[in-house]
Amino acid sequence: MKVVHGVPNHEVLDLDYPLVASALERFIREELHGRGFEKGVVAVSGGVDSAVTLALAARALGPENVHALSLPHRDSSPESSAHARLVAKRFGVELETVDITHMVEGYAEQTPGITPRRKGNVMARARMIVTFDKSEQYRALPLGTGNKTERLFGYFTWHADDSPPVNPLGDLYKTQVWGLAEYLGVPDEIVHKPPTADLEPGQTDEADLGVRYRRADVILEHYLKGYPDAYIVGLGYTPEEVALVKRRVNQTHYKRHLPAVAIVSSTAINEFYLRPLDFHTDD
């Protein structure tokens, strides 16, 4: 008989997905309009995060106002491109494909000894370059697709995945993105496949991270709320899992901030001189 283990205290992550979807659609619309944009551009990887972002953007702006980009490299899994097409079709958004192989290989050929990991990061940054250029071409603002779990783990390529100025999913754990994906009608094969950055052949997120997302997310939520380790272990998580999650968060704070600036004045930007990013004056 099949034994299914529940995830302890997973209900702390429960959301009302119609309410969340409605709020995120409004967020996309208002943040774009506030910046003078009517259209958005989304790089669609074939994974669940970009699928959800595309669905929200299509609902918020109308599919005709969303540009979906598929940005494969020759080493990318063919399934990723197939799933990108499937998602674009499902949400009625036209998909443009730009092959980044030449961009990446142009650099890699001049760089003997480049490792798969470094090349993966170059791929992610090449995708960022294309996305921002398409933003200029279509006058469409790039939408980020990074979720809260990968942001907290620093599990993304710095100045690539995190670069779009508007990110609807950044405060949703991966578990919650899956829930939202089901509500929005993201195809099952995308929701239920093992998450992967697809930067190296055979790569999966959970193998890289060393912990299952559904368990990590509950640990993260309790850790961020200040519960001590012993409490989290008491819920049914192992000390090793808790330590791993905390280590990943605490080794990557720099990736969630602007660069450190040497402060020599009492008007240092974002230290003394504090203004929210949407600040204006009448002048």
Partner 1 sequence: MVRHALLQLKPQKGRIHRNLEHLQRALLALRDEDVDVAVVPEAYPTGYFLQGGVRELALEATELEDRLAGWHAEHYQKPLDLVIGFYERDGGSYYNTAAYLELGGRGLVHRHRKIFLPTYGVFDEERFLDRGHELTSFTTRFGRAAMLICEDFWHTVTATIAALQGAEIIYVPSASPARGFGGRAPANVERWETLARAVSGEHGLYVALASLVGSEAGKLMSGGSLIAGPEGEVLARAPEFEEAVLIADVDPGRIPPVRYDNPMLADLKAGLPLIFPELRKVVEEL
By CB under 8 A, residue 278 contacts partner 1 = yes
Q: Copy the structure tokens of residue 275.
A: 């203004």
Residues 244-263 that bind partner 1 (CB under 8 A): none
Judged by CB under 8 A, the number of residues near partner 1 is 22
Kindly write out the interface string for residues 11-30 of this chain, putting x where it contacts partner 1 by CB under 8 A and - elsewhere: ---xxx--xx-xx--xx--x
Beta-bridge partners for 39: 140
Please give the radius of gyration of the chain, using alpha carbons only, rounded to the nearest integer. 20
Q: How far is the CB of 11 from partner 1 (least distance, A)?
A: 9
Query: Which strands sit side by side in the sheet containing 95-97, from one edge to the other?
Result: 95-97, 66-70, 39-43, 140-142
Residue 276 near partner 1 by CB under 8 A: yes
Nearest in space to 55 (alpha carbons), one of 45, 65, 63: 63
Nearest distance, CB of residue 206 and partner 1, angstroms: 26
Should residue 227 be labelled a site residue for partner 1 when binding is judged by CB under 8 A? Answer: no
Residues 6+ apart with CB under 8 A from 248: 152, 153, 154, 155, 209
Q: Which is nearer to partner 1, 136 or 278 (CB)?
A: 278
Q: Which residues of 190-224 are buried (b: 16+ CB within 10 A; e: fewer)?
A: bbeeebbbbbeeebebbeebebebbbbbbbbbbbe
* DSSP states along 137-174: HHTEEEB----HHHHHHT-S-TTTTT-SSB-TTTTS-H
Q: Does 159 bind partner 1 (CB under 8 A)?
A: no
Q: Is 110 in the site for partner 1 (CB under 8 A)?
A: no
Contact between 274 and partner 1 per CB under 8 A: yes
Does residue 162 touch partner 1 according to CB under 8 A?
no
**Which residues, at least 6 apart from 117, have a Cβ–Cβ distance to it below 8 Å?**
199, 200
Q: What is the DSSP letter of 193?
A: S
Minimal distance, residue 228 CB to partner 1, in Å: 20
Query: Taking the complex as a whole, how short is the minimal distance between the CB of residue 118 and partner 1, in angstroms?
Result: 33
Question: Rounded to the nearest whole angstrom, what is the least distance from the CB of residue 37 to partner 1 in the complex?
Answer: 14
225 binds partner 1 (CB under 8 A): no
158 exposure class (CB count in 10 Å sphere: 0-12, 13-18, 19+):
middle
Contact range with partner 1 by CB under 8 A, out of 2-10, 87-95, 137-145, 273-281: 273-281
Sole window of 54-62, 185-193, 247-255, 274-282 interacting with partner 1 (rule: CB under 8 A): 274-282
Interface contacts to partner 1, rule CB under 8 A: 14-16, 19-20, 22-23, 26-27, 30-31, 34, 273-282
